[in-house]
């Protein structure tokens, strides 16, 4: 009788606590700390090997390419760039996937399900790292990866950058993307601007718990050609000194004609293009002059 009475008292309390914990899991978004990898479509990954390994100085590897095509190119112990082979013309926008680090993959999975976002199942890669994927409102593949703890990596002297700071892609419906990235995931505008002061052609959406960002590329014609799409869909590698980076590129064999310039965001930058025409932007971490159009609203990335 006594046990029955105790159970009758405790069961509602335990049930209430369980409901409370489940509610907290669903309503609290786990931290999103940055970009772990970007995957690009390539019509000839073997041809691209020379660009990414020789010109950019990145180390190609088969091991450590969590949830990615192999080989991937190592930037640091926690960031990668990967290429996935595709038939010419089948993916003109060339950006295949952006992956973000979170400290709690199962919690992020529950959080998105609670917001009625269709998500794939949580799985583990060969090294045991948890991850899952989904499509953003525009159909871009987004992956969440448990904040990685890769083996220590030492960059070669020829490596141009050890830091992926942003990925940009053409956005057709900003309101829909904002509802997802800003409303549900907690991203915020880091900076926005355009070729003219009164225009907004680029919107930098910074992760809520770090300094990396996505760049909305707006006002791109629906019939944009391959070159334009390659310019717009891009990745950016951070460098502390753009002129030193250019010098190393020349040493690595780059013979491009573009020169460093200060962008509308007030930062030094230099554009390169891989064999498929995807732009790889080198960018200094901090501005050297006041940006056009808007002030920065978040912290700048660091090396």
Asked if residue 302 belongs to a domain, the reply is no
- What is the domain extent for residue 261? 164-284
Average pLDDT for residues 242-257, to the nearest whole number? 97
For residues 174 and 105, membership in a common domain is answered with no
Q: Quickly state the pLDDT bin for 150 (edges 50, 70, 90).
A: low
Does residue 45 lie within any of the structural domains? Answer: yes
Contact 11, 17 (CB under 8 A): no
What is the C-alpha to C-alpha distance for residues 127 and 64, in angstroms, rounded to an integer?
Answer: 8
- With cut-offs at 50, 70 and 90, classify the pLDDT of residue 19: very low
Task: Dump strand ranges (E) for 103-232.
Answer: 123-124, 130-135, 141-146, 164-170, 188-193, 202-206, 213-217
CATH of the domain at 269: 3.10.180.10
- pLDDT score for 281: 98
Is residue 274 located within the same domain as residue 222? yes
Are residue 42 and residue 89 in the same domain, yes or no?
Answer: yes
**Could you tell me the sign of the dihedral formed by the alpha carbons of 248, 250, 255, 261, in that order?**
positive
Query: Can you give the pTM of this predicted structure?
Result: 0.89
Report the pLDDT value the prediction gives residue 46, as an integer from 0 to 100: 86
Q: With H, G, I as helix, E, B as strand and everything else as coil, classify residue 141.
A: strand
Q: Are residues 50 and 129 in the same domain?
A: yes
* Mean pLDDT on 219-244: 96
Alpha carbons 202 and 199: distance in angstroms, whole number? 9
Contact 151, 78 (CB under 8 A): no
What DSSP designation does 105 have? H
More confident residue, 51 or 14: 51
In whole angstroms, what is the distance from residue 239 CA to residue 226 CA? Answer: 27
Question: What's the CA angle centered on 31, arms 25 and 36, to 5 degrees?
Answer: 125
In a domain, 2, yes or no: no
Residues 173 and 270 in one domain: yes
Residue 131 lies in a domain: yes
Rounded CA-CA distance 71/93 in Å is 21
Distance of alpha carbon 244 from alpha carbon 62, whole angstroms:
30
Going by pLDDT thresholds of 50, 70 and 90, the confidence category of residue 45 is confident
Residue 158 falls within a domain, yes or no?
no
Q: Is residue 224 part of a domain?
A: yes
Pair (48, 117) in one structural domain: yes
Q: Is 5 among the domain residues?
A: no
Q: Which residue has the higher pLDDT, 51 or 66?
A: 51
Query: What pLDDT shows up at residue 7?
Result: 44
Q: Are residues 41 and 141 in the same domain?
A: yes
Residue 59 falls within a domain, yes or no? yes
Give the residue from 246, 226, 263, 210 showing the smallest Cα distance to 56: 246
* Reduced DSSP (H G I as helix, E B as strand, rest coil) percent helix, strand, coil of the chain, to 5: 25, 30, 45
pLDDT band at 22 (very low <50, low <70, confident <90, very high): very low
**CA torsion, ordered 248, 249, 252, 255, to nearest 10 deg:** -140
Q: Are residues 127 and 77 in the same domain?
A: yes
Residue 156 pLDDT class (50, 70, 90 cuts): confident
Task: Specify the pLDDT at position 149.
Answer: 62
pLDDT in tens, 204-221: 999 999 999 999 999 999
Q: Are residues 185 and 263 in the same domain?
A: yes
Q: Are 83 and 95 in contact (CB under 8 A)?
A: no
Q: Which of 161, 119, 148 shows the shortest CA–CA distance to 245?
A: 161
Give 62-109 pLDDT, tens digit per residue: 655 655 556 789 999 889 999 988 888 788 788 999 999 999 999 999
Residues 86, 90, 92, 93, CA torsion sign = negative
Shared domain for 105 and 169, answered yes or no, is no
Same structural domain, 198 and 225: yes
- Place 148 in a pLDDT band, splitting at 50, 70 and 90: low
Distance CA 273, CA 235 (A): 10
300 pLDDT higher than 60: yes
Give residue 3's pLDDT.
Answer: 47
Q: Whose structure tokens read 């995957």? A: 39
Q: What is the pLDDT of residue 66?
A: 55
Give helix 2-27 / helix 105-114 axis angle, nearest 10°. Answer: 80
Q: Among the listed ranges 74-78, 148-152, 238-242, 285-289, which one has the minimum average pLDDT value?
A: 148-152
Give Dmax over CA atoms of the chain in angstroms.
88
Q: Is the predicted pLDDT of residue 230 greater than 80, yes or no?
A: yes
Please indicate, yes or no, whether residues 36 and 140 belong to a single structural domain of this protein: yes
The per-residue pLDDT for 116 is 97
Find the angle CA(120)-CA(124)-CA(127) to the nearest 5 degrees. Answer: 155
Q: How many domains does the chain have?
A: 2
């Amino acid at each position: 009788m006594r046990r029955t009475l105790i159970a009758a008292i405790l069961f509602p309390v335990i049930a209430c606590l369980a409901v409370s914990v489940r509610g907290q899991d669903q309503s609290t978004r786990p931290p999103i700390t940055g970009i772990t990898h970007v995957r690009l479509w390539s019509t000839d990954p073997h041809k691209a090997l020379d660009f990414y390994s020789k010109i950019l100085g990145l180390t190609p590897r088969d091991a450590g390419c969590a949830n990615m095509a192999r080989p991937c190119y190592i930037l640091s112990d926690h960031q990668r760039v990967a290429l996935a082979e595709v038939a010419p013309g089948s993916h003109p926008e060339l950006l295949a996937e952006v992956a973000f680090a979170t400290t709690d993959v199962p919690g992020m999975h529950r959080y998105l399900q609670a917001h009625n976002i269709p998500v794939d199942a949580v799985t583990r890669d060969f090294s045991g790292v948890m991850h899952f994927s989904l499509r953003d409102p525009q159909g871009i593949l987004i992956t969440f990866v448990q904040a990685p703890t890769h083996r220590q990596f030492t960059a070669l002297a020829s490596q141009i950058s050890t830091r992926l700071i942003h990925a940009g892609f053409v956005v057709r419906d900003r309101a829909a993307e904002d509802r997802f990235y800003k409303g549900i995931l907690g991203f915020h505008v880091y900076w926005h601007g355009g070729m003219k002061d009164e225009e907004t052609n680029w919107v930098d959406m910074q992760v809520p718990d770090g300094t990396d960002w996505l760049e909305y590329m707006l006002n791109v014609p629906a019939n944009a050609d391959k070159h334009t799409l390659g310019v717009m869909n891009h990745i950016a590698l951070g460098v502390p000194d753009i002129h030193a980076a250019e010098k190393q590129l020349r040493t690595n064999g780059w013979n491009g004609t573009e020169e460093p310039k200060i962008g509308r965001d007030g930062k030094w930058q230099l554009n390169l293009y891989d064999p498929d025409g995807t732009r790889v932007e080198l960018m200094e971490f901090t501005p050297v002059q006041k940006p056009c159009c808007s002030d920065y609203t978040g912290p700048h990335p660091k090396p």
